[in-house]
Amino acid sequence: MAPLLQVTDLRVHFHTDDGIVKAVDGISYSVDAGQTLGIVGESGSGKSVSSMTVMGLTRAKNAQISGSIVFDGKELLTATEDELRRVRGGPVSMIFQDPLSSLHPMYKIGKQLVEAVRTHQDVSKARALDRAVEMLGLVGLPEPRRRVDSYPHEFSGGMRQRVMIAMALCNDPKLLIADEPTTALDVTVQAQILDLLERLKRELDTAIVLITHDLGVVAEVTDDIAVMYAGRIVEKAPKGAIFAAPEHPYTWGLLRSIPRLDSPRDEELVPIPGRPPSLINPPSGCSFHPRCPYVREAHTRVDPALEPVPGAREHAVACLLTGETRQALWAELASGADPEAAKAAATPAAAAGPGRLEEEGS
């Protein structure tokens, strides 16, 4: 059976005065009904652009978009604006990071929800309002019957986010794209929203693409995880594998640089050195190479493709180190070694070298 959403070799390049911004540069993924895919990565890695493109929201004069986005058997990349309007807010809907940007400040939220329902369903205003109240109740807004007469500014951030989610759900979407839906919220409100997302998936079989920079959030609610770096997916695997046996040095970096409640309190954080790359002049070879502790000479020239990890069917990684070396390195890192120590232990021959590993294979 074909997946509900199949994105293949998607590229989104923006022509700007400074040059071509390669915001998304060849990514592929798929999501099935009832499945949640988490997309993680730091800001500017292309998470939002890639998902907005699914909804046709990045189309612009200066945008050059290629590849393929097949949703429910239909190609969306070449769909007309009219066709997209029927999809948006209907079978595919999106929750944005900033709820204020997608709620109209001058209209009562009830009116906005009714409009959203009637765009996609041929029902009376009264029926649409019932649906709105039902959805507001579903997302846990207290006294929904009364609150439909409120304006967005009368709500707290968490309540607005719930209104947004109600709006995204009012037409029973098959696919929900949630772009950092909890980033602006307190943990207690975040917990409410995550609960809601889990219920959707369980009870309505909704497919979800969840974009976040929070590894904790993806650990709790996703099935598969794609790690993005500089417009590419550098690692993709079922959630368990990403946390238990990560393969990409950037993923290792993310995992070791955050403090976590379940690790010893005095454990040293290992920052990822340097800073995120420019998308106009991305580094040659592997785009992570300037920040990678395990870089070898060839990695500054050769661009790694996302390839299956030997022996792990659903796990893919874009890294030029051999599987053996990566596993040896992660074994060291997981037991608390810092990158230098891990390098020395995992590849003894390289320990004598001046901070760079020996060439491998080439």
Task: Report the interface residues with Mg ion, using CB under 5 A.
Answer: 48
Nearer to ligand ADP, 109 or 211 (CB): 211
Q: What is the DSSP letter of 315?
A: E
281: which 2 tokens?
Answer: 């002049």
From the list 2-10, 52-60, 120-128, 270-278, the region that binds another protein by CB under 8 A is 270-278
Residue 51 beta carbon to ligand ADP: minimum distance, rounded to whole angstroms: 8
Find the binding residues for another protein in span 274-293 (CB under 8 A). Answer: 275-276
For the chain, what percentages of helix, strand and coil (3-state, to nearest 5) are there?
40, 20, 40
Closest listed residue to residue 225, CA positions, set 60, 79, 37: 37
Nearer to ligand ADP, 96 or 330 (CB): 96
Strand, helix or coil for residue 21: strand
Strand, helix or coil for residue 29: strand
Nearer to ligand ADP, 16 or 78 (CB): 16
Closest listed residue to residue 50, CA positions, set 216, 200, 226: 226
Answer yes or no whether residue 21 interacts with ligand ADP by CB under 6 A.
yes
Q: Specify which residues 64 forms β-bridges with.
A: 13
Q: Which residue in 5, 10, 14, 270 binds ligand ADP (CB under 6 A)?
A: 14
Amino acid at 324: E
Tell me the C-alpha distance between 147 and 149, whole Å: 5
Amino acid at 256: R
Nearer to another protein, 4 or 242 (CB): 242
Q: Which residue in 73, 105, 259, 355 binds another protein (CB under 8 A)?
A: 259
From the list 47-55, 73-81, 293-301, 353-361, the region that binds ligand ADP by CB under 6 A is 47-55
Question: What beta strand segments (E) does 267-336 contain?
Answer: 307-309, 312-317
DSSP conformation letters of 332-352 = HHHTT--HHHHHHHHSGGGGG
Answer yes or no whether residue 361 interacts with another protein by CB under 8 A.
no
Answer yes or no whether residue 23 interacts with ligand ADP by CB under 6 A.
yes
Answer yes or no whether residue 281 interacts with ligand ADP by CB under 6 A.
no
Nearer to another protein, 89 or 253 (CB): 253
Angle, vertex CA 112, rays to CA 178 and CA 189, nearest 5: 40
Tell me the C-alpha distance between 76 and 302, whole Å: 33
Q: 279 touches which of another protein, Mg ion, ligand ADP, none (CB within 5 to 8 A by kind)?
A: ligand ADP
Residue 318 beta carbon to ligand ADP: minimum distance, rounded to whole angstroms: 17
CA 47 vs. chain centroid, Å, equals 5
Q: Tell me how crowded residue 108 is: count the other CB atoms within 10 A of its CB.
A: 16
Answer yes or no whether residue 234 interacts with another protein by CB under 8 A.
no
Answer yes or no whether residue 100 interacts with another protein by CB under 8 A.
no
- Residues 6+ away with beta carbon under 8 Å from 153: 105
Find the binding residues for another protein in span 158-177 (CB under 8 A). Answer: 158-159
Answer yes or no whether residue 226 interacts with another protein by CB under 8 A.
no
Q: 16 touches which of Mg ion, another protein, ligand ADP, none (CB within 5 to 8 A by kind)?
A: ligand ADP
Answer yes or no whether residue 192 interacts with another protein by CB under 8 A.
yes
Answer yes or no whether residue 251 interacts with another protein by CB under 8 A.
no
Q: How many helices (H) and strands (E) does the chain have?
A: 13, 12
Answer yes or no whether residue 279 interacts with ligand ADP by CB under 6 A.
yes
Q: Tell me how crowded residue 144 is: count the other CB atoms within 10 A of its CB.
A: 21
Q: 313 touches which of Mg ion, another protein, ligand ADP, none (CB within 5 to 8 A by kind)?
A: none
84: which 2 tokens?
Answer: 């997209």
Where do contacts with ligand ADP occur on this chain (CB under 6 A)? 14, 16, 21, 23, 41, 43-49, 279
Where do contacts with another protein occur on this chain (CB under 8 A)? 42-43, 140, 142, 156-159, 186-192, 194-195, 213-220, 239-240, 243, 253-255, 257-262, 265, 267-273, 275-276
